Structure 1
Amino acid sequence: MVNITIDKNNLLVPEGMTILDAAKSCHVSIPNLCYMEELNEIGACRVCAIEIEGRERLVTACNNVVEEGMVIHTNSPKVREARRTNVELILSQHDSNCAVCVRSGNCSLQDLANDLGIIEIPYQKTLPHARWTEGFPLVRNYEKCIKCMRCIQVCDKVQDLKVWDIANTGSRTNVDVSGNLRIEESDCALCGQCITHCPTGALRERDDTDVVFEALADPDKILVVQIAPAVRAAWGESLDLPREFATVKRLAAALRRIGFDYIFDTNFTADLTIMEEGSEFVERLGNADKHTFPMFTSCCPGWIRFIKSQYPDMLDQLSTAKSPQQMFGAVAKSYYAQVLDVDPSKIFSVSIMPCTAKKFEAGLPVMNSAGAGQDVDVVLTTREVERLIRAESLDVKNLPEEELDTPLGSGSGAAVIFGATGGVMEAALRSAYFLVTGENPEPDAFQDVRGRKGWKEATFNLAGTDLRVAVASGLGNTRRLVEAIRRGDVEYDFVEIMACPGGCAGGGGQPIWDGQELAGDRADVLYGLDKISDIRFSHENPSITKCYGEFFEKPLSHKSHELLHTDHRTWELNPTKWEYEK
């Protein structure tokens, strides 16, 4: 322990602690822009500069440690002048047109400039210019980049894909796609973690709200919308709604006010996914000599992009089941069109997802099995639906809850936990146990796969057979797990992968809170909803039973294979020409 003084606060702190953390321990806030704990402690922005008595030069607080007897000033005249100058210099190379920036009101640079009282920039404005691939789900604005290196570090150290790198030298230094590639040529998984860790609007998702507004204005279109499990745990955050108030039923009310005709729940097709994927897994176990194990889950498109680019020889180990999003699109334009007795081409299918990779998935040429165009027409992130609500000037704080529509609006507790890492595995095991034994297990019998650890493993007894399972979230953890499987260090029967740390709850399309990782808090909401659900098993969802009885006949039927399954080898990861329509 060492004795130090920070802004007249006498402290006893551990030796080796950074000055930034020492300041936090006594509730002294030191501004910063580039800092990310354990990932980006490089002092690139120089905003966290502080003054130490006896030293002529200012030092950065994020990557300098305390020493015995230090007397530190975090806001002296010298510090304030340097901090203001540093921010002014950053702004001189930043597109400060905040009124038309997607991050206005939620931008660390904007907040800092306001706090410092900067109302004009005394330096000549110089902005970098570069072209970006039109229509790609991930959008980069070079003129808003402040060179904090956060995107580089999260992609390198957390996701282990190294999509971003430093380009050019000297005053021309910028961040760009590594290897001198265009983004669509890279191994980008479209997880969106670079977006959620960017302090400004330099990175964002492709905005598709205008497409939705155009469809809403078309009297010939029937608009159906699905709400993903993880969205209900986050959609109210940026609207200042408490989690217990921002329910999926209140979101349904908002969407009806906006003009959607039918509000459905992706939980319905999450249950459908479990029936198909669980049945597929049981079928593979019964014919183990014909299959390579483990079988991998297939509902995360970021993971699908990852395995196609990094381990294409393992594609046959993926479940052939589509993701719940794509199953819903196919069901909406086939079974539900039949229920409504309408031409499927009149249905305009929108999904609200916590994910940026879902935009890519919906646009794949193979995702059109219902025969009425793309099964999912538009994907909106959680952030985009918030912008949709704001654009309509809805007073959500005074909206009553409203029920979702039936039959595609019902889901089980097993389905709602799809939004948390380990949730797909747990839901699948609940129904796999029933499919093998004819009896339900205890609903929480498989909770060993829960938790925030990036790589979890467990063994469960399934009708006398030990079932070895694993769960990974975050692509860095995924790579370590896959490499261990390939070396023969571990053996599993069934593996769940989610590209984003914490699963969909921490997805790249969720609300952004700089310096906070909220996947765990959102997952707790989902597990709470499962706990109080009247139905906790996918196979007990009466709407699923009815859907099979009236349309699909049974899991893995011919019609199920046509609409609910896919071949991951039949599409290209990097098309030569990007053909997304905005």
Structure 2
Amino acid sequence: MIINIDKDICTGCRECAEVCPVSAIEGEQGKPQEINYDKCVMCGQCVQKCKAYVSIVDHGAEAYDNKRAERNLPNSVLEPLFAAYNNCNLDKVKAALADKDTITMVQCAPAVRVGIAEDFGGELGTLAARKMAAALRRIGFNKIYDTNFNADLTIMEEGTELIKRVTEGGILPMFTSCCPAWVTFLERNYPEMKDHLSSCKSPQQMGAIFKTYGAELDNYDPAKIFTVSVMPCTCKEFECNREEMNSSGYQDVDVAITTRELAYLIKDMGIDFNSLPEEDYDQPLGMYTGAGTIFGVTGGVMEAAIRTGYELITGQPIPAVDVSAVRGSDAFRTATLKVGDIDLKVGIVAGLKNVIPVMEDLKAGKLDLHFIEVMTCPAGCVSGGGQPKLLLDSEKEAAYEARTKGTYAHDAELTIRKSHENPAIAKIYEDYLLTPNGKESHHMLHTHYCTGENNFKK
């Protein structure tokens, strides 16, 4: 199971149950809790919330060492171990790095770069994009790529798909498909609505290009490539193991680790993160725009899609690249944007609990929108279950705000802020994918969805 509650440690405070968006945590007050895996969407918000722990100081070295070993954590980990936790996949990563015949590629999600510095004493929301690239290079990865590039690719595909649905009479509203916990929730609870989801893979799974296009660029044997994704999300492990995620001819992404796990790995290898120089990601699959960056915050996918969609529809530059109408932290917010002759009606859902009324309105025929972004975690990926642990509830609002601010600041400082203007994106279509939503790109970058119990590995 990806998300677990250790009954030896759990005190039954039920704070985890309060934050679970799908009521998957069950049990009596004061007694160890259990996860109902038929409901769990593996978002990891319980992992962030949990306060019951075992530590060397309070419980002794033997008890602590036993729990650390049970969780497959590196011996260098000395921090308290909490009752709610997610799987650790560092053993798989280390094995691949140690194998001289394996080519290792790594991609990093946008939210990781405004979170990871916190695990090294940095201020909340510190941007550490290029320092993180340096750390990954010293860890020993052969190629340091970026999920932000994949996010730009997602916009090209998703934006084109939305335009086609709006202009040619497709199924509306179209929902974003970037968040695997949200996709899983819809598949299980509203399977009749699955055709409303964009068919685009998430940016992580757009990593299918690493074992195809990327392999061709460097003349690598794709059978020898092992791809790692660093994600703020605990559900990404589930997503990369879905049976259909193999359009590269192999498992598209071999393993997903969290921001916290990357920090563990950096510390375990004795790397002084704070003393690292700033370095670039490898090209061309490490080139990204501001639009790719803002995928990490709620409303970011919507804004990135609008920046490109506006220009694809009108043939004119968007009047303001900052689409402030879709920014914010409201549980559910809507906006109407003038895009040429189209009044584009959009909605943004922050927090999975808030999507249920939206889905019920859709079932009742009362939802008049074209495009809806849904993120399971309360402030988007910056508040993901795999981000650095926030020990005090009072820290959360400040952390989410700082990480969001850092994300928008990074967007603003980049020279290119629209996905379709990324020269590496133009090049991959010219040389390999040919056209957005075309035959080649649809095979590589799009997927299908499941219903019932099918394909729900945990």
TM more than 0.5:
yes
Matched with 1:320 is 199
1:472 partner SS = strand
Contact 1:452–1:520 (CA<8 Å) still a contact in 2?
no
The answer on 1:543 being equivalent to 2:395 is: no
Out of 20, 39, 44, the position equivalent to 1:187 is: 39
Matched with 1:335 is 213
2:278 and 2:202 map into 1 onto residues whose CA distance is 28
Amino acid in structure 1 at the alignment position of 2:176: T
The answer on 1:352 being equivalent to 2:230 is: yes
Contact 2:243–2:455 (CA<8 Å) still a contact in 1?
no
1:529 and 1:174 map into 2 onto residues whose CA distance is 42
The answer on 1:567 being equivalent to 2:425 is: no
1:189 and 1:425 map into 2 onto residues whose CA distance is 23
Amino acid in structure 1 at the alignment position of 2:318: P
Out of 183, 198, 210, the position equivalent to 2:50 is: 198
Contact 2:187–2:451 (CA<8 Å) still a contact in 1?
no
2:41 and 2:192 map into 1 onto residues whose CA distance is 17
Matched with 2:32 is 174
Amino acid in structure 2 at the alignment position of 1:146: T
Measured against aligned partners, the alpha-carbon deviations of 1:248-278 in whole angstroms (never above 9, x if no partner) come to 1101111111111111111101000000000
2:24 and 2:152 map into 1 onto residues whose CA distance is 34
Distance 1:244 1:196, change over 3 A: closer
Out of 502, 505, 511, the position equivalent to 2:382 is: 505
Out of 334, 339, 343, the position equivalent to 1:457 is: 334
1:406 and 1:445 map into 2 onto residues whose CA distance is 27
Identify unmatched segments of 5+ residues in structure 2.
Answer: 53-81
- CA apart distance, 1:281: 0.5
Distance 1:143 1:212, change over 3 A: same
Contact 1:351–1:380 (CA<8 Å) still a contact in 2?
yes
- CA apart distance, 1:243: 5.7
2:252 partner SS = coil
1:332 and 1:349 map into 2 onto residues whose CA distance is 8
TM-score by length of 1: 0.71
Contact 2:232–2:381 (CA<8 Å) still a contact in 1?
yes
Matched with 1:401 is 278
Contact 1:443–1:536 (CA<8 Å) still a contact in 2?
no
- Structure ID, larger Rg: 1
Contact 1:309–1:573 (CA<8 Å) still a contact in 2?
no
- What is the RMSD computed on CA atoms of the aligned residues? 1.7
- Correspondences of 1:385-534 after superposition (within 5 Å): 385-514=262-391, 515=393, 516-517=395-396, 518-534=399-415
Contact 1:424–1:496 (CA<8 Å) still a contact in 2?
yes
Matched with 1:236 is 117
- Correspondences of 1:39-54 after superposition (within 5 Å): none
Distance 1:245 1:445, change over 3 A: closer
- Correspondences of 1:240-279 after superposition (within 5 Å): 240-242=121-123, 246-279=127-160
- CA apart distance, 1:440: 1.9
1:400 partner SS = coil
Amino acid in structure 2 at the alignment position of 1:164: I
The answer on 1:151 being equivalent to 2:16 is: yes
- CA apart distance, 1:569: 2.8
Contact 1:364–1:571 (CA<8 Å) still a contact in 2?
no
Measured against aligned partners, the alpha-carbon deviations of 1:53-92 in whole angstroms (never above 9, x if no partner) come to xxxxxxxxxxxxxxxxxxxxxxxxxxxxxxxxxxxxxxxx
Distance 1:245 1:489, change over 3 A: closer
Contact 2:5–2:33 (CA<8 Å) still a contact in 1?
no
- CA apart distance, 1:326: 0.3
Q: How many residues align?
A: 425
2:305 and 2:127 map into 1 onto residues whose CA distance is 28
1:244 and 1:469 map into 2 onto residues whose CA distance is 28
Distance 1:292 1:209, change over 3 A: same
2:124 and 2:272 map into 1 onto residues whose CA distance is 16
Contact 2:175–2:373 (CA<8 Å) still a contact in 1?
yes
The structure with higher relative contact order (CA 8 Å, sep 6+) is: 2
Amino acid in structure 1 at the alignment position of 2:242: L
1:333 and 1:462 map into 2 onto residues whose CA distance is 37
2:173 and 2:324 map into 1 onto residues whose CA distance is 20
Matched with 1:139 is 4
Matched with 1:108 is none
Matched with 1:93 is none
